Amino acid sequence: MGYDNTVGSRPSITDADLAYIAGFLDGDGSLMLQLKKRGDSTKGVRFMATICLYQDSRHDAPLLWMRRKVKCGYVSKRNDGMTELRINGFSQVRAVLETLLPFLRFKRKQAELLVQACNMLERQTLRTMTSSDMRKVVNLLLLIQNENYMSRKRKTKEELYRILGLTP
């Protein structure tokens, strides 16, 4: 994402585009940092950062447009009549959120927290992280979740620490 400053070039995404996408995220989007099971890692889990935008499948054109504008993510139709634009990966999530931050209103705090987590997780893997860094990421995960609407039971700090092997 970003502007091409070459003389005579037009930016691929304007401030108006960014404001629209940010408003859509504020209203019909989610910012998530999750600990997911993973069989091919030494700890059996991994952190996953996601931006997700939702829309009724009958009106999914804006999601396709947004995907073209941010140049990442994927659009998929769910069985319940909804369509999602999902952006995963620490680098992509961080880049998109840093670009949208000036335009976000309701999810600004979550976005800032997720950017912090992505910055930490881009630089190191769970295998190479210190216990202190893992605790920081868990705290960011919990802060982000506390800003989200409660949709289902979530793991406590103690459960997350146990999963990551951080218990004494």
DSSP 126-152: TTT--HHHHHHHHHHHHHHHHHSPP-S
CATH code assigned at 51 = 3.10.28.10
pLDDT in tens, 63-105: 999 999 999 999 999 999 999 999 999 999 999 999 999 999 9
User: Does 10 fall in a domain?
Assistant: no
User: Does 2 fall in a domain?
Assistant: no
Task: Give the bridge partners for 35, in sequence order.
Answer: 47
pTM, 2 dp: 0.88
User: Does 85 fall in a domain?
Assistant: yes
User: Does 77 fall in a domain?
Assistant: yes
User: Does 3 fall in a domain?
Assistant: no
- Which token pair is 123? 């630089």
User: Does 7 fall in a domain?
Assistant: no
Could you list the residue range(s) of the whole structural domain that residue 23 is in?
A: 15-163
Among 9-18, 27-36, 61-70, the least confident range:
9-18
Q: How far apart are CA 67 and CA 122, in angstroms?
A: 22
Q: Give the number of domains in the chain.
A: 1
* Helices and strands of the chain, counted as H and E runs: 6, 4
